Structures are given as structure tokens and as C-alpha cells.
């Protein structure tokens, strides 16, 4: 197994590009939390972003014997809270609308709710119950990925436990102890720290997310277990949110950032600042009415790929879950913190193979500052091409250049880059992809347009270029611009 610490560059905090704690800093964080003064409870909006991990493929038939047991059907009254004057209730637990479903997984849905901490262990790293730690009252809710949806079996499980203590000081002390236990994970042999992230803002007094990985008992499971634990203190209450799943070494550590903040609001009886989209992979109407099909370019608005004949022309399709909008995309787009998203995908097929692809995503943000920060993050992806969700290593062939004046829609700013990656046949075939990000007010439009050629690009008008092909039309540059114009025009049509 590779060193999980080497994956920390993909585990991000609130602001795009924000650094995370090193492993050494993580191990000192318990002392830092003890010295941290509690923030005043406010109704301010927490600026948070969910980092998404890539898909997990299991070669075995299940997750092994260490899988979390399903909650018994009669468990609603199985473990009652100790008698107290606490006013904590089930209403202080998060709902599925408060949870972020990471790309490419489906939305979370409620499975079971308990009065108390339940009848089975909810976190492999925590060996002491909250009741033993002095909680006056506890409640727990379990979630699973929406059954029957694609990737549901790989999403793992998620649960939230809330507890009330005698005082804010007691809640703070317990949260520090829980966070320390999450880092060291004494309940599991051989656990390794994979990431740690502070959680602050809004109603939160203090909080952290700690992720560990460990080997499964099942030798046929071609992945490791990952347990992510979010511990949040708010006033005299503590939230423990846990996600457990199987992951392969190349998958980024999970984060519960936005979900934990929203759950903290529920815990203190407040309404979360906004409900996140429950399906960030959706290509149809979003959960909010800000975006819709009118913001997506239609197939008949795209110029023909005239180098190849096609009986269908540009044809809409649903790509496999691991295909991003941009080949140089470091994270799934939900990591950018958009409040709404719509996307569409087209392909150009000959009678032998797919030779063209168009991927478009339109993202709406809470304000122009958030949109600008997301634009800068995408620009960084395009400049260094750091990740490869396609399973290949794209190579940047043209750094981002300003093309805002070339787009009739008039975005605030727009940049285009180019990258290449090998075709699937293992020969000289190469995908030549043009990537665009355009910003207009509170919105981003992303366009990834790829053509299969190779080893030379689809066309060149330079007769001195070794790749010059006089028998090929030099229409590639015009085709790129036409696709970008059509996509951006549709994407911001309701803002102009």
C-alpha cells in the first residue's frame, strides 16, 4: 500500500488551494485545540467546499467481514438516552438534505435513527461511548447511498451522532479526546493517518476531520478501509460524523467538511446556511432552479466534425463515472463549492470508434467572490494538469491564454489551454483536447473538447509545420471557437 500521506495534496480545506495540516502538525493538533478559544455562536455562513474522491472498484463480491452491520429494524427504541433535563432531540440530527454526496456517488438517504448511540459500533476508531464520557443525551442517524443507483455499493456508509454535555467546557474537552482518538485510531491495528483538516466557522466552537486507512481482514478485498471522523463542538453539544468506505491507493481521502458544518447547525437548532445539491453528478435539472436545460448547449448548436462522417452527428450520451469535464481536472467539480450545477456530454462516432467528445458543465456560485476563487482553481488545474481522472497522464501542450474577447457572450474573463493524452488503441492515436473556463458574474462555464488524431494534431494551417496536411481542412481552430461560443452563450444566457 502506498503511503497515505503522499495523497494529502488532494485533501483540501475551505478555500481553493488552501494547505492542509502535515502529519506532524496533525499529531500536535490536540494541544492546539485545547488552547483555542471558543468562537461566539453566530448565524454567519460557513465557507466550505466538499472534496471528492474518485471511484472505487471492488474485485471481490463484497466489502469483507469488517463491514458495518445493518441496523436492526427494531432499534428505534433499543438504547434510550439516560434521563436528564436535556432538550436534545432527533430534530438535532442532520437530514439527507444537509449532506454532500461526493462525485461520482449518489445522494445519501436515511437508513435508521436511534435514541442513544445504537446497538452496533458506529466508528472503528472510537473505543469509548459518549455516554461513558458524560453525555446527558445522545441520538444517532445512519445513512446509505441511494440504493439501486450507480456507484451506490462503493459509497460506503455515513452516520451522525449528537450528544449534549453539562457545559461548553465539558463538550470541548470531550471533542478534543475524540479527535485525538480519531487520529491514533486505537481500535484498529495498523491504522495509518491519511489526512486531517480543521473545521471552523458558523456555529462551530471547534472541530476537525481526521482520516485513517487500514488493511481489511478479507484478503480478497483489493482495497483498504478508510474511516473519516468529523468531530465538532458547538456550545455544550458535540457532533461525531463518520464515513467508512473501501478505497484504493490512488483515491483522495474523503472529507466531510460541508456535511459537518450543516450538521452542526442542526445540532444547535439552527438552519444550515444553504442546502447543498444532493446529486452533484446530475446532468438534468439541478436541485435549485437557478440553472436548467436552457443553460446547456444543444447538439444542433455544435459545428460538425468535418474530418469524419457520422450517421448521428453530435449525439448526447452518459459517460462512465470517472470521466471528468476537463482532462486536466484535479478534483471532481463539487470540490469547487458551487451551489448548483448542470452538465451535458456529446460524442461524434464513426462506424468504427468515437473520434470526438464535448463535455460542458455550468456552475452557479453563492457570489462573485466564490466564482472568482473557483475560476482561479480551474486555471491552476489547466496550467499544471495535476490529476488524471481518465486513468492517463494528460500533457499540457498550450498554457491558458486569455480568449475573453473572442467569445461573443462577453464573459468577465475566459482562458483556453490544450492538452493531449493517448488513445485507447495503444498506437499513435492521440486525444487533442481544448479546455476552456469562462467566468461571468456568479457563474462558470467549463468546456472540454477533444478530437482523436495522431500523432499530429487534427489540422494545421502552417505549411512549414511538419504536421501540415494539405488534404485536411484547416477547420480545427474555427471548430474549437464555435463550440466554446455556443457553450458559453447558453451557459450565461439568463444573466445577460
Please give the full DSSP string across 249-260, using - where no structure is assigned: TTSPPP--HHHH
Mean pLDDT of 362-368: 92
Alpha carbon distance 387, 168 (integer Å)? 43
Considering only CA atoms, which of 182, 142, 138, 204 is closest in space to residue 29?
182
Q: Which CATH superfamily is domain 293-495 in?
A: PknH-like extracellular domain (3.40.1000.70)
DSSP code string of 171-239: HHHHHHHHHHHHHH-TTSTT-EEEEEEE--STT-SEEEEEEEEE--S-TT--SEEEEEEEEEEETTEEE
Among the residue ranges 67-71, 197-201, 347-351, 377-381, the one predicted with the least confidence is 67-71
Q: Which distant-in-sequence residues (6+ apart) come within 8 Å of 450 by Cβ?
A: 327, 356, 357, 431, 432, 433, 434
Alpha carbon distance 278, 98 (integer Å)? 8
User: In the structure, what pLDDT confidence band is assigned to residue 39 with cuts at 50, 70 and 90?
Assistant: very low
Q: Is 399 a residue whose pLDDT tops 70?
A: yes
In tens, the pLDDT along 151-171 reads 888 899 999 999 999 999 999
Q: Please report, for the chain, the start and end positions of each structural domain, with discontinuous segments joined by +.
A: 4-267, 293-495
C-alpha distances in Å from residue 476, one per residue of 440, 448, 449, 483: 26, 14, 11, 11
In tens, the pLDDT along 168-196 reads 999 999 999 999 999 999 989 899 998 88
Amino acid at each position: 500500500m502506498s503511503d497515505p500521506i503522499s495523497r494529502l495534496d488532494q485533501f483540501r480545506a475551505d478555500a481553493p488551494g488552501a494547505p492542509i495540516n502535515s502529519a506532524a502538525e496533525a499529531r500536535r493538533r490536540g494541544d492546539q485545540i485545547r488552547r483555542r478559544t471558543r468562537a461566539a455562536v453566530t448565524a454567519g455562513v460557513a465557507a466550505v467546499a466538499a472534496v471528492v474522491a474518485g471511484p472505487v472498484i471492488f474485485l471481490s463480491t463484497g466489502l469483507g467481514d469488517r463491514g458495518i452491520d445493518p441496523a436492526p429494524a427494531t432499534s428505534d427504541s433499543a438504547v434510550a438516552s439516560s434521563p436528564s433535563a436535556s432538550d436534545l432531540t432527533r430534530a438535532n440530527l442532520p437530514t439527507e438534505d444537509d449532506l454532500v454526496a461526493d462525485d461520482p456517488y449518489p445522494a445519501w438517504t436515511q437508513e435508521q435513527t436511534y435514541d442513544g448511540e445504537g446497538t452496533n459500533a458506529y466508528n472503528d476508531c472510537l473505543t469509548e461511548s459518549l455516554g461513558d464520557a458524560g453525555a446527558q443525551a445522545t441520538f444517532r442517524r445512519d445513512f446509505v447511498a441511494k440504493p439501486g443507483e450507480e456507484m451506490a455499493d462503493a459509497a460506503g456508509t455515513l452516520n451522525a451522532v449528537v450528544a449534549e454535555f453539562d457545559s461548553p467546557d465539558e463538550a470541548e474537552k470531550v471533542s478534543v479526546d475524540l479527535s485525538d482518538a480519531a487520529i491514533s485510531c486505537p481500535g484498529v491495528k495498523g491504522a495509518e493517518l491519511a489526512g486531517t483538516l480543521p473545521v471552523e466557522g458558523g456555529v462551530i466552537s471547534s472541530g476537525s476531520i481526521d482520516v485513517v486507512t487500514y488493511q481489511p481482514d478479507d484478503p480478497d478485498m483489493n482495497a483498504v478501509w478508510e474511516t473519516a471522523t468529523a468531530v465538532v463542538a458547538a456550545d455544550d453539544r458535540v457532533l461525531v460524523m463518520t464515513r467508512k468506505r473501501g478505497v484504493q491507493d490512488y483515491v483522495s481521502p474523503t472529507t466531510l467538511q460541508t456535511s459537518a458544518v450543516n450538521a452542526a447547525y442542526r445540532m444547535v437548532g439552527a438552519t444550515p446556511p444553504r442546502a447543498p445539491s444532493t446529486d452533484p453528478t446530475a446532468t438534468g435539472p439541478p436541485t435549485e432552479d437557478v440553472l436548467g436545460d436552457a443553460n446547456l448547449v444543444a447538439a444542433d448548436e455544435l459545428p460538425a466534425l468535418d474530418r469524419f462522417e457520422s450517421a448521428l452527428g453530435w449525439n448526447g450520451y452518459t459517460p462512465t463515472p470517472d470521466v471528468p469535464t476537463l482532462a486536466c481536472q484535479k478534483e471532481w467539480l463539487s470540490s469547487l463549492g458551487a451551489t448548483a450545477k448542470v452538465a451535458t456530454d456529446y460524442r461524434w462516432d464513426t462506424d468504427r470508434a468515437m473520434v470526438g467528445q464535448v463535455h460542458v458543465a455550468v456552475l452557479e456560485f453563492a457570489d462573485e467572490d466564490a466564482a472568482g476563487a473557483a475560476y482561479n482553481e480551474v486555471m491552476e488545474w489547466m496550467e499544471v494538469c495535476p490529476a488524471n481522472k481518465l486513468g492517463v497522464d494528460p500533457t499540457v501542450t498550450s498554457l491558458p491564454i486569455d480568449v475573453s474577447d473572442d467569445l461573443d457572450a462577453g464573459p468577465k474573463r475566459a482562458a483556453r489551454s490544450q492538452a493531449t493524452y493517448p488513445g485507447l488503441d495503444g498506437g499513435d492515436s492521440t486525444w487533442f483536447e481544448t479546455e476552456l473556463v469562462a467566468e461571468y458574474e456568479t457563474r462558470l462555464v467549463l468546456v472540454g473538447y477533444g478530437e482523436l488524431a495522431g500523432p499530429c494534431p487534427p489540422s494545421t494551417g502552417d505549411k512549414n509545420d511538419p504536421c501540415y496536411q494539405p488534404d485536411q481542412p484547416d477547420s480545427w481552430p474555427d471548430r474549437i471557437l464555435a463550440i466554446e461560443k455556443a457553450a458559453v452563450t447558453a451557459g450565461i444566457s439568463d444573466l445577460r
